[in-house]
Amino acid sequence: MEGRNTMLNRNGLGYISLVVAAYMIGVSNLWKFPTLVLEYGLSGVVFYSIMVALMIPMISAAMESTKNRRYELVEFYNREFNTLWPAMAFFLFDILLLAYYPTVSGWLLRELAPAEVLPSGVGSALVLLLFFAVLTVTLMKGGTHTMDAMVVSLLIAFTALILASWTLYSHIGATGMMPAFGKQLTQVLSWKGVSGKMLVDTAEQAAYSVGIGMGFYLLLGGFLPKKVSPVKVATIGVVLDTLSVLLSTLIAVMAISTPPTVGIGGSDIVTSALPKTLESGGMTAVLYFLYLAFFFAALSSMIPLGEVVTRVLMELSTKPLNPRRMPGFRRRSVLMAMSFTLLLGLLLVAAGEYGGVDAVGTLDTAVETFILFGAVLEVLAVLYGKEYVSLPLKAGSYPGIIAVFLLGTLAVWGMVTGKMVIPLSILIAVLGLAVLPGNFWRRHLRM
């Protein structure tokens, strides 16, 4: 009976919402959003809030699309649109994201060992191996194990953020720095106007933060219990995600308000200045809480991306006729997908550390731009007027679809005018690979 109750809990609104929140809350919540707030102030917060609100119906529509037909990702596009390329676009971009995401996540983790003891290139490679070891074992388990791992990772990350915030707040109060904190917070949250760059940056972060545009909501919808409302799941997930970014911003502002203070501006505030400030101020405990938050927030987002890549690979491969061999088939699929992605990640680390290439920054620009267009791909059922998506959900999705498409176009235009040749080439190359005939992919991915 206890096991049955556990399964019932896993099928409930609360548990599924935690799974979605775990997917949404990633490393960008802990550093990218605070960086944007430090740069754009209250105007950035307001536009970000508008964008995530517009994306709730889009996320709901994506889950509703596969919930009513119980489709897998490849199956959805094959049956509904007689095409394969959107599924392959998600597959390829999720591989890119998984390849460089641990490197971004390792910014703080690498601080655990001094550079003279552990060179940054070696540290990046070790962090990459650590993430992929945990990710591979989790994905091999499959089923409810992956969701359980996501929820546990989320709870640990949130607990670490709360402890970091409370410890830092107590330190500020005990050292009489509360007026400086209030002044800094007022300065950060001042209205700094609206610009095209601000609109694109915050829209990309909103789409990136809530995770739409990477195929997971379509995948989750196919397994969503009938009684669970996609709108409620999406809303709760976005609320928890927004709480995490606000909490992270509060931590960043408190940290830069304490001696030795640092100026406002630049992404290195969170990735470099913040650790140095905490260590110099005797707040190493806060830093260790942030190490925990970074690792588990990254893991909770990597697991569903790995699940998307694995399931697409499984759908395009030759399945065993004997159901008893399915666990082995899944394990082979995971090993194949994760081994290739890990190799790509190690190549990116080598290019960045020893080749002088800004691999992370380059891929970040390409992936974030794709995510805006990927958000539209996830809600194609709305655009095509499928009867199983309700009229209110369709109507609510259109403002977000129009906004992300226009801002995605603006982001591409920014690449062109800014002569960002490499990110633009990656974007074009991956989309070009995705539109190759379905038989090509089935022939080359068959195991």
Q: Is residue 215 in a domain?
A: yes
Length of the chain: 447
Q: Can you give the pLDDT at residue 177?
A: 83
User: How does residue 154 score in pLDDT terms, banded at 50, 70 and 90?
Assistant: very high
Low-confidence winner among 158-172, 197-211, 291-305, 315-329 (lowest mean pLDDT): 315-329
**pLDDT score of 261 more than 60:** no
In this prediction, residues 338-357 reach a mean pLDDT of 85
**pLDDT score of 237 more than 80:** yes
**pLDDT score of 51 more than 60:** yes
**pLDDT score of 272 more than 70:** no
In this prediction, residues 338-362 reach a mean pLDDT of 83
**pLDDT score of 278 more than 90:** no
Q: Can you give the pLDDT at residue 178?
A: 87
Six token digits for residue 58: 């889009």
Q: Is residue 6 in a domain?
A: no
Q: Can you give the pLDDT at residue 6?
A: 42
Q: Can you give the pLDDT at residue 333?
A: 92
Question: What's the one-letter identity of residue 24?
Answer: M
Q: Is residue 7 in a domain?
A: no
Question: In whole angstroms, how far apart are CA 326 and each of 77, 308, 416?
Answer: 23, 17, 46
**Are 124 and 106 contacting, i.e. CB atoms less than 8 angstroms apart?**
yes
Residue carrying structure tokens 């065993």: 320
Distance of CA 85 to the CA centre of its chain: 22
**DSSP secondary structure letter of residue 11:** T
Helices in 355-390 by DSSP H: which ranges?
359-377, 380-383
**Are 230 and 221 contacting, i.e. CB atoms less than 8 angstroms apart?**
yes
Q: Is residue 5 in a domain?
A: no
CA atoms within 13 A on the CB side of 410: 16
In this prediction, residues 144-171 reach a mean pLDDT of 89
**DSSP secondary structure letter of residue 306:** H
Q: Can you give the pLDDT at residue 8?
A: 42
Using only the alpha carbons of the chain, give its radius of gyration.
21
CATH value at residue 118: 1.20.1740.10
Which pLDDT tens digit goes with each residue over 308-343?
Answer: 999 999 998 877 777 777 778 899 999 999 999 999
**pLDDT score of 264 more than 60:** no
Which pLDDT tens digit goes with each residue over 160-176?
Answer: 889 888 888 888 888 88
Q: Can you give the pLDDT at residue 354?
A: 78
- CA atoms of 147 and 159, how far apart (whole Å): 18
Full residue range of the structural domain in which residue 193 is found: 12-314+325-445
Q: Can you give the pLDDT at residue 271?
A: 61
Q: Is residue 155 in a domain?
A: yes
3-state SS class at 191: strand
Give the range with max mean pLDDT: 121-125, 235-239, 356-360, 421-425: 235-239
Q: Can you say whether the dihedral through the CA atoms of 204, 210, 214, 218 is positive or negative?
A: negative
**pLDDT score of 399 more than 60:** yes
Question: What's the one-letter identity of residue 142?
Answer: G
User: How does residue 113 score in pLDDT terms, banded at 50, 70 and 90?
Assistant: low
Q: Is residue 320 in a domain?
A: no
Which pLDDT tens digit goes with each residue over 72-88?
Answer: 999 999 888 988 899 99
Q: Is residue 176 in a domain?
A: yes
Question: In whole angstroms, how far apart are CA 82 and each of 27, 74, 156, 200?
Answer: 36, 10, 42, 32
Q: Is residue 319 in a domain?
A: no
Q: Can you give the pLDDT at residue 110?
A: 66
Report the mean per-residue pLDDT for the chain: 85
Which pLDDT tens digit goes with each residue over 404-426?
Answer: 999 889 888 888 998 888 888 98
Q: How many domains does one find in the chain?
A: 1
